[in-house]
Chain A
């Protein structure tokens, strides 16, 4: 620590250069934070999703098409190894302008059991069942549509005609719920029974999705397969998968290799800035060769000089990394407001792991950028350098 004034003096020698270098390191780590933070979020989601929850939907038709008859539920519930079963229907439409895609998931009273791990409270699930026109929406969705508890939420669903011939669905916001990892863009849950009974008689009694919990997570894939087998020759064949499978990164993002992509981008940013910092440190050492020679003459050892240069580089890189990762965290929190609402892209999160790896990389970066200049320091000829200067 006693050498800190020396390091500080070195950094202050060319304040503009130090500042700009700091900014560029910040930028590189902002990108790093966003990219690796995104991967971290995906990992976290994969960790949190359950292996014992199975989603069954109609195999043919977008968003389940016309769905499946509700009778499917009793067939699935009767299967040995199935614990609890709930149904879900999607009401897809828009808010005010057709560009503002939105949707409400209509759930029955069993949802509380099947999705018990979600941070939606039992009271909130019950509210949905007690108030037929009520919905519970997540904070993200509430912010997006500027709704608070007690407000009216109106969804226009051009594809879903009600029994009264209209296509405008009006709900009351009962509560704002906590976010769940399975729905990065937020959620709105409504009452299935109300939804179903509002449809023309000919369209009633259908569901988009049947979700169930298996007693044994290891048996869940087998059960999923069994369900599909049972309905393979029915009017509405199903497509079932465990939540674990549904949220596996490889099955999402349209088949893009997102992990490779984020890592490559982060690497490009770091490589670019490494080149810059290495140059800056080299330059800084070259300019101060005479000073270093002087330090050596008054008794500073080679290793202390090396430490001084290393400390200079480390200060720059660590400070840059900290501010960069911090900036990434802030930018990530702003992403919701610029991304299209319907998209629900998971947001990068600066987890401890991301922060630690940023620090480690910053240290490595400092080490690499300081290596070349320090070898030069060790080889310097004090006499000739001092002679040149005076």
Chain B
């Protein structure tokens, strides 16, 4: 009898009498489903934020901030410096020959969350004439676009869902008075969390004298190096440039680290619990089937085949649990609108996360089932059959 056939027969036998051990086997299913449900529910938050942030910044968009700035709000680029930045080599040109670059203002406004009246910030982004050309993904879904030079704002659909008083027609209070919201927009990414207005007008309103950042379209992916060199070698500037796409994740590295520590910390603790459960169950299963396993061995089945059949059983149960857990997380959280600080985004349970769930389930089953399977393989046939 070849090995595969032995494993097959032994496993079939396992699953056939699984019914007699149904409650015990459920320990594995329940255990893994709890682990995976909690893990994926928490991961849906990081994944949602990450994916939403990674979509910001079309191909070739570079963001210039002042050296060492940990956020765009902290960065400050005076007007004269912004002009030098926008004339630097490497920036793509519009048909009229002007540089495809835009100085931006970004400021946090204190607002209330719709959810629990808690305090939060909403970002107010001021963009210039090239701002819309650099953001072809931005489209108006209701109302109209703000007019340059006017004290008007448009609001992202994400911000409307997350913060109070963001409807078209309502006013946002700035130091120089009330600014009406004249339209709402969508971008399909994290930018939807913000209010957008005219850069110079916003800057005057909040009485700032410098821009916060410059967004620039590179001629080609290779131009960033040239652009960077031009900026860093100019003694009049204290700025650094990088792909806009990487900016949020880079500037929020600490946040993602904390999320990861919490999510995987909790996940690992739960997984250890499930692993012990798995161990206990498989140990009891081997115990209960001593005679059966000894009989198989007496019939000529190899110890390895028996061991593998035990592991297979725990893997199948564990994976079933993982699927239940993943299904629950997906059903309850995928696509649910949420947010963190000023960021509005959707929770996300992606296929790759289900892949993670499967890996965890198999790992739990293998680690938990290993010792019991070894025990099954090393069972002394003579001793086990003696009572009969």
A residues sitting closer than 8 Å to B (CB atoms) are 16-17, 20-21, 23-24, 27-28, 30-31, 34-35, 59-63, 65-66, 92-94, 98-99, 101, 156, 158-159, 232-233, 235-237, 239, 241, 245, 248, 250-252, 254-257, 264-265, 268-269, 271-273, 275-276, 279-280, 282-283, 335, 338-340, 342-343, 345
Q: Is the CB of A279 within 8 A of B68?
A: no
Q: Is the CB of A268 within 8 A of B257?
A: no
From B110, B273, B339, give the contact of A24 (CB < 8 A): B273
Q: Is the CB of A92 within 8 A of B34?
A: no
Alpha-carbon separation in the docked complex, A251 to B38 (Å):
25
From A159, A233, A236, A283, give the contact of B284 (CB < 8 A): A283
Q: What are 22 A-B pairs with beta-carbon distances under 8 A?
A: A34-B266, A59-B110, A61-B73, A63-B73, A65-B107, A101-B70, A158-B238, A159-B66, A235-B207, A236-B207, A239-B110, A248-B118, A250-B117, A254-B343, A255-B113, A255-B162, A265-B42, A269-B34, A272-B31, A276-B276, A282-B23, A339-B261
Given A268-B38, A272-B277, verify A342-B254 contact (CB < 8 Å): yes
Alpha-carbon separation in the docked complex, A280 to B283 (Å):
11
From A20, A257, A343, give the contact of B279 (CB < 8 A): A20
Q: Is the CB of A60 within 8 A of B119?
A: no
Does B43 count as interface, using CB distance less than 8 angstroms? no
Q: Is the CB of B208 within 8 A of A61?
A: yes
From A16, A101, A268, A345, give the contact of B258 (CB < 8 A): A345
From A101, A235, A276, give the contact of B277 (CB < 8 A): A276
Does B376 count as interface, using CB distance less than 8 angstroms? no
Interface residues of B in 190-222 (CB under 8 A from A): 206-208
Q: Is the CB of A271 within 8 A of B116?
A: no
From A21, A23, A99, A254, give the contact of B253 (CB < 8 A): A99
Q: List B contacts of A235 (CB < 8 A).
A: 175, 207
Q: List A contacts of B113 (CB < 8 A).
A: 255
Q: Is the CB of B70 within 8 A of A251?
A: no
From A93, A255, A273, give the contact of B273 (CB < 8 A): A273
Q: Is the CB of A159 within 8 A of B76?
A: yes
From B27, B73, B339, give the contact of A254 (CB < 8 A): B339
From B27, B258, B341, give the contact of A340 (CB < 8 A): B258
Does B67 count as interface, using CB distance less than 8 angstroms? yes
Q: Is the CB of A276 within 8 A of B68?
A: no
Does B295 count as interface, using CB distance less than 8 angstroms? no
Alpha-carbon separation in the docked complex, A78 to B177 (Å):
27
Q: Is the CB of A268 within 8 A of B270?
A: yes
From B26, B254, B273, residue with most partner A Cβ within 10 Å: B273
Does B335 count as interface, using CB distance less than 8 angstroms? no
